A = this chain, B = another copy of it.
Amino acid sequence: MPKPIEPRDRRPEAERLGRPLSGWRLKVYTVIFEADTRAGRSFDLALIGLVLFSIAVVMLESVASFRARHGTWLTVSEYLLTAVFSIEYLLRLACVRHPWRYARSFYGIVDLLAVLPTYLALFMPELYALVDVRVLRLLRVFRVLKLSAYVAETAMLVEALRASARKISVFISVVVMIVVVLGTVMYVVEGPHNGFSSIPASIYWAITTMTTVGYGDITPKTDFGRAIASLMMLVGWGILAVPTGIVTAEMTAQRRQRPATTRTCQVCLSEGHLPEARFCRDCGASLPPYQRD
């Protein structure tokens, strides 16, 4: 039976972070954190636009042909955007009463990760592409468009996951054990000269097979290896196919037991009588003959 839900801090973000008392801080806060006023809404929409633009910039910079032609513009845009996002982050910290709570919250971390890569890239240039992590800022879009319904449904989904967390971890543990054992067996059977260069590589291959991804960069060549691979493929696919088939069979059986028809007893008004039933199961009265449409 479902456990009672532990109480979590579900107060609106405003309360948790501490609405500031007065002055310019309050004005800034209203614009940045709240989306009820027109200014707040415009700010959020502008923010989304900037985030999308910044992601496009980073993506295009990674395409060699584009970089050759527009490299300078892209770099300038990126620096400007990073400056804007940094100032925004500092403003956020400045205008709430509990800045540390904001910095530790999910959105706070996302906002920090949105500006950090550009600075890290000054030291390690190859990390530059991680600027794309900014896309997580788009999770704010749900709040902007007043889609509390979306938020509610996502919360429900997350709760369903928590409730099943135990079953899921048992399942994942079993899958991990299977890929480790069978990956190792394949390493022994096929060997490095057939592509299975090490046990970790073989486990990687086992995962591509169980999950039916099947890249094909490593494939079994020996007959025994192919036999084991066939078994793994049937298991990985069967884990999807067998329960689906069982569920469908159950549903069909239930449906035949209890077709949700609108056939109504005239005496006691109970519904859902089977097509072939002649008497009402709740009051025993005779049912009118069944007319098929």
Contact = CB atoms under 8 A, between A and B. Distances in A.
Contact of A170 (B153, B199, B252, B258): B153
Contacts of A150: 166, 169-170
A266 to B, nearest CB: 14
A149 B166 contact: yes
Interface string A183-225: 0110110011000011111011001111111111101000100
Interface string A153-167: 110110010011011
Interface residues of A, number: 114
A200 B239 CA distance: 24
A122 interface: no
Given A213-B213, A255-B250, A200 B167 contact: no
Contacts of A130: 184-185, 188
A223 B261 CA distance: 48
A79 B201 CA distance: 24
Contact of A250 (B226, B251, B272): B251
A254 B260 contact: yes
Nearest to A135: B180
Interface string A214-243: 111101000100110110011011111111
Nearest to A156: B249
Interface of A: 1-2, 55, 58-59, 62-64, 126-127, 129-130, 132-133, 135-136, 138-139, 149-150, 153-154, 156-157, 160, 163-164, 166-173, 175, 177, 180-181, 184-185, 187-188, 191-192, 197-201, 203-204, 207-217, 219, 223, 226-227, 229-230, 233-234, 236-262, 272-286, 292
9 contacts: A127-B188, A130-B185, A138-B177, A157-B167, A212-B213, A239-B241, A278-B281, A281-B281, A284-B284
